[in-house]
């Protein structure tokens, strides 16, 4: 007997169909993985079960939970279910908690509401739950506020809220997407433990096939609001009967075809970083004593040859983005020197930096946030042209933009569109076009594909590889995702606590990590092949 049964569920928001005849079930103690690309209707399926849909949404079909008809339930009935029998964990831990309430209040609130327990009893239970999710009292008293916790710790609090009353069903919507791989492994482990302890059903929503394969007993693959394929995880993914399943699996393991890496080590290096350190002022603990500084980057040295592709990998907060900002001369180093094309760029004025800026560009993670929505593509892509020595005429400018768009696989007609007319992947192409328009020698890319769906991500990685071959651009990829490093980098630098703890050829480092930090990253990184193999083995 299933705990959650979704039959022929269709959903429209206004006139837009979102879900078409979705079928899905979760049994007690079972992990059901719901996989799909963005916009496929995964989250809307979850919100339908919770009845937390936007106002204009209309659902039809049947959703039954533990014998209750969810689509016909009143708001009062739903309030009784939510947080008690059905818990939900969301994607973004940084914003999922109320900033003005303590974590104790927020965990205890649901307990008090549903059980009518006294404040003391509820706080007692909240305390036990926080202990269970790995936030012990000594370091994390109930009186902590969310801003005092890191992203992974906040996600633990959200899980504590969702699981405080031992729900029969937990819905986790991309619970680890915003976390680095090591935290992801820890959170997945926690969820697995909670499932087996309480025979809780888990509906795990993710775009990451490897994560779902590691976790789920059964899998449902969603595309454009329709179920493409559903069944036993190991069988579905090993047989890959449905073409879309095969496409997803291939895309998530995609490695762009690259000719031999550019010859490295010969001639002058393009970028040299020598003993760079960056201190930030620490938090004052006393009015009279100066605060000890926080060292974000600690005595880092590296060099990059022209045309070389290097990945800087590490967990969130290890200092990799700070280092990237200093290389781009967007942040000043506390000590050390950075040389670009043989010229020192540390301690230079903005005017002196202009020639260097022409040769180094940047691609950011979020293709949505990095464009002004009120400007046309022509102007957006032409932005870096102001660093050119001679201002191009408007005809020249159009010509250059058209060329850059062509190189990233977009058309000339896209020039007069606005950013919102493009999909996420196309927008990332736009930011790459913007980065290469000045013909730079170095592109720094900060998590350039982590916000993208697997198939789009494969295309963008191909594009990076192609531009590397064609234009000889050197890359510095900042990422916590080892598959990106494996796909595109000649060399890997592993960063931990502000220091580079390991460096070497990509294959060597990822297959035979030496340092603790590198080992932890490799062990935690989800891998589709490994996950399928393990599943097959478990099932004999």
Partner 1 sequence: MTAYLLKRLVIAIATLILASMVVFAVLEILPGDPARLMLGLNASADQVELLRDQMGLNAPLVLRYLHWVGGLLSLDFGRSYTYSVPVIDLVRERMAVSLPLALIALALSTVIAIPVGLYSASRRGRAGDTIAMGAAQLGVAVPNFWFALMLIYLFAVWLRLVPAGGFPGWSAGVWPALKSLLLPAVALALPQAAILARVARSALIEVLNEDYIRTARAKGLPYRAVLWRHALRNAMIPVLTILGLQFAFLIAGTIIIENVFYLPGLGRLVFQAITQRDLIVVESIVMLLVVAVIAVNLVVDVSYAFVDPRLRGRQ
Least Cβ distance, residue 104 to partner 1 (angstroms): 13
Residue recorded with tokens 């888990």: 202
Minimum gap (Å) between residue 143 Cβ and partner 1 = 9
Q: Which of residues 162 and 230 has its CB atom nearest to partner 1 in the complex?
A: 162
- Give bridge partners of residue 33 from the DSSP assignment: 204, 219
Q: How far is the CB of 187 from partner 1 (least distance, A)?
A: 16
Q: How many CB atoms lie within 10 A of CB 227?
A: 21
Residue 432: burial class (beta carbons within 10 Å; 0-12, 13-18, 19+): buried
- Written as six digits, the tokens of 279 are 């201190």
Q: Which residues of this chain interact with partner 1, rule CB under 8 A?
A: 50, 52, 75-76, 79-84, 87-88, 90, 92, 95-102, 106, 109-110, 113-114, 145, 147-148, 158, 161-162, 283-284, 287
The nearer residue to partner 1, 291 or 536, going by C-beta atoms, is 291
Q: How far is the CB of 113 from partner 1 (least distance, A)?
A: 6
Which lies closer to partner 1 via its Cβ, residue 26 or residue 489? 26
3-class state of residue 107 by DSSP? helix
Six token digits for residue 427 = 């927008």
Contact 441, 306 (CB under 8 A): yes
Report, in Å, the least distance between residue 391 CB and partner 1.
41
Q: Is 416 exposed, middle or buried (0-12, 13-18, 19+ CB in 10 A)?
A: exposed
> Would you call 100 exposed, middle or buried from its count of C-beta atoms within 10 A (0-12, 13-18, 19+)?
exposed
Give the tokens for residue 131.
């202990």
**Closest CB to partner 1 among residues 50, 261:** 50
Kindly tell me which of 52 and 523 has the beta carbon lying closer to partner 1. 52
Shortest distance in whole angstroms from residue 286 CB to partner 1: 9
Q: How far apart are CA 24 and CA 45, in angstroms?
A: 10
Between strands 31-36 and 57-65, the pairing is unpaired
279 Cβ contact list (under 8 Å, min separation 6): 293, 294, 295, 296, 334
User: How far, CA to CA in Å, does 96 sit from each of 11, 110, 123, 170?
Assistant: 25, 15, 20, 16
In the complex with partner 1, which residue's Cβ is closer, 144 or 262?
144
Q: Which of 187, 178, 116, 104 is nearest to 146 (CA)?
A: 104
Buried b or exposed e, range 466-499, using 16+ CB within 10 angstroms? bbbeeeebbbbbbbbbbbbbbbbbbbbbbbbebb
Which CB atom, from 159 or from 476, has the smaller least distance to partner 1?
Answer: 159
CB of 452 to partner 1, least distance (A): 21
Element (H, E) at 72: none
Based on CB atoms, which residue is closest to partner 1, 8 or 98?
98
Contact 113, 164 (CB under 8 A): no
CB of 299 to partner 1, least distance (A): 28
Residue placing its CB nearer to partner 1 in the complex, 114 or 457: 114
Cβ atoms of 310 and 475 within 8 Å: the answer is yes
Output phi, psi for 175, to 5 deg: -70, -15
Q: Is the Cβ of residue 113 or residue 244 nearer to partner 1 in the bound state? A: 113
Minimum distance from residue 95 beta carbon to partner 1 (Å): 4
How crowded is residue 13: how many other Cβ atoms within 10 Å of its Cβ?
15
Q: What is the CA radius of gyration of the chain?
A: 25
CB of 98 to partner 1, least distance (A): 4
Give me the least distance between CB of 161 and partner 1, in Å please: 6
| Min CB(200)–partner 1 separation in Å | 15
With respect to partner 1, which residue has the nearer C-beta, 137 or 148?
148
Q: In this complex, which beta carbon is closest to partner 1, that of residue 109 or of residue 279?
A: 109
């Amino acid at each position: 007997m299933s705990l959650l049964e979704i039959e022929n569920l269709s959903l429209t928001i206004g006139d837009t169909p979102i879900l078409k005849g979705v079928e899905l079930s979760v049994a007690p103690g079972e992990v059901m993985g719901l996989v799909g690309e963005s916009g496929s209707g995964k989250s809307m399926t979850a919100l339908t079960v919770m009845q937390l849909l936007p106002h204009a949404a209309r659902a039809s079909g049947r959703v039954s939970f533990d014998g209750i008809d969810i689509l016909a339930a009143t708001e009062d009935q739903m309030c009784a279910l939510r947080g008690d029998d059905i818990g939900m964990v969301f994607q973004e831990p940084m914003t999922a908690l109320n900033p003005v309430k303590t974590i104790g209040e927020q965990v205890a609130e649901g307990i008090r509401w549903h059980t009518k327990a006294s404040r003391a009893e509820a706080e007692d239970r909240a305390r036990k739950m926080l202990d269970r999710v790995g936030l012990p009292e000594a370091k994390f008293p109930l009186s902590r506020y969310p801003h005092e916790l890191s992203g992974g710790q906040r996600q633990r609090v959200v899980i504590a809220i969702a699981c405080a009353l031992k729900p029969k069903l937990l819905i986790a919507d991309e619970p680890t997407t915003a976390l680095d791989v090591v935290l992801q492994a820890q959170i997945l482990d926690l969820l697995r433990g909670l499932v087996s302890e309480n025979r809780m059903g888990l509906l795990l929503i993710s775009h990451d096939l490897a994560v779902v394969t590691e976790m789920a007993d059964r899998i449902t693959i969603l595309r454009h609001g329709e179920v493409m394929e559903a069944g036993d995880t190991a069988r579905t993914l090993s047989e890959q009967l449905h073409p879309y399943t095969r496409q997803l699996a291939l895309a998530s393991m995609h490695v762009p075809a690259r000719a031999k890496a550019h010859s490295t080590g010969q001639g002058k290096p393009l970028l040299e970083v020598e003993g760079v350190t960056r201190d930030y002022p620490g938090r004052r603990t006393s009015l009279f004593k100066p605060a000890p500084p926080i060292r974000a980057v600690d005595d880092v040295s590296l060099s990059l040859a022209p045309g070389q592709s290097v990945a800087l990998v590490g967990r969130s907060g290890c200092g990799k983005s700070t280092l990237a900002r200093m290389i781009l001369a967007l942040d000043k180093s506390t000590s050390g020197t950075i040389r670009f094309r043989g010229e020192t760029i540390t301690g230079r004025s903005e005017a002196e930096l202009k020639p260097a800026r022409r040769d180094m560009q940047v691609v950011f993670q979020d293709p949505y946030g990095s464009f002004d929505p009120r400007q046309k593509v022509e102007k957006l892509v032409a932005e870096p042209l102001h660093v050119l020595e001679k201002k191009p005429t408007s005809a020249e400018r159009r010509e250059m933009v058209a060329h850059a768009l062509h190189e990233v696989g977009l058309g000339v007609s896209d020039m007069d569109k606005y950013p919102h007319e493009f999909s996420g992947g196309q927008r990332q192409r736009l930011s790459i076009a913007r980065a290469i328009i000045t013909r730079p020698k170095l592109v720094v890319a900060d998590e350039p594909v982590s916000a993208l769906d697997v198939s789009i991500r494969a295309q963008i990685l191909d594009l990076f590889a192609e531009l590397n071959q064609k234009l000889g651009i050197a890359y510095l990829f900042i990422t916590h995702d080892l598959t990106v490093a494996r796909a595109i980098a000649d060399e890997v630098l592993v960063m931990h606590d502000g220091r580079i703890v390991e460096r070497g050829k990509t294959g060597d480092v990822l297959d035979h990590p030496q340092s603790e930090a590198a080992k932890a990253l490799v062990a935690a990184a989800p891998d589709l092949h490994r996950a399928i193999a393990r599943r097959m083995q478990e099932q004999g």
